[in-house]
């Protein structure tokens, strides 16, 4: 399964269903299941802005699985700007749907860009929550 590491609180915003468009400077042709990984790095000001405690927010774990449905370049009628991303013209929006929360986050190292998360057995052992 492909995975994407995000600085906190951006991974938690996806996990909580608040963020449905991941904004990036680069496009992807990948479509399908995507594990959302909370990196070890935390943006303390963004945590406070969105109501998370930067001291206790999850780090270094897979939080949920989403389906990457589309990737569009801004501006796009398929991606209405919100407070959770950088919607500058020329950037890209990864359209995320079908959130599946893990009942217990799974420890993972993470990586830059899209990376392979090979712990599918761990996901199967973890009860999934919709």
3-class SS string, the chain = CEEEEEEECHHHHHHCCCCCEEEECCCCCCCEEEEEEEEEEECHHHHHHHCCCCCCCCCCEEEEEEEEEEEEECCCCCCCCCCCCCCCCCCEEEEEEEEEEEEEEEECCCCCCEEECCCHHHHHHCCEEC
Q: Which domain holds residue 13?
A: 2-129
pLDDT tens digits along 47-78? 999 999 999 999 999 999 999 999 999 999 99
CATH number for 68: 2.30.130.30
- Per the prediction, the chain carries an average pLDDT of 93
């Amino acid at each position: 399964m492909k995975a994407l590491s995000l600085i906190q609180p951006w991974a938690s915003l996806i996990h909580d269903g608040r963020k449905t468009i991941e904004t990036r400077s680069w496009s992807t042709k990948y479509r399908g299941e995507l594990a959302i990984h909370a990196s070890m790095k935390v943006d303390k000001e963004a945590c406070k802005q969105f109501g998370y405690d930067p001291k206790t927010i999850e780090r270094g774990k897979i939080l949920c699985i989403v389906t990457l449905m589309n990737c569009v370049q801004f501006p796009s009628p398929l991606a209405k700007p919100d407070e959770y991303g950088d919607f500058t013209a020329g950037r890209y929006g990864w359209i995320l749907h079908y959130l599946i929360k893990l009942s217990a986050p799974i420890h993972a190292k993470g990586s830059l860009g899209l990376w392979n998360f090979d712990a599918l057995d761990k996901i199967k052992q973890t009860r999934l929550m919709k």
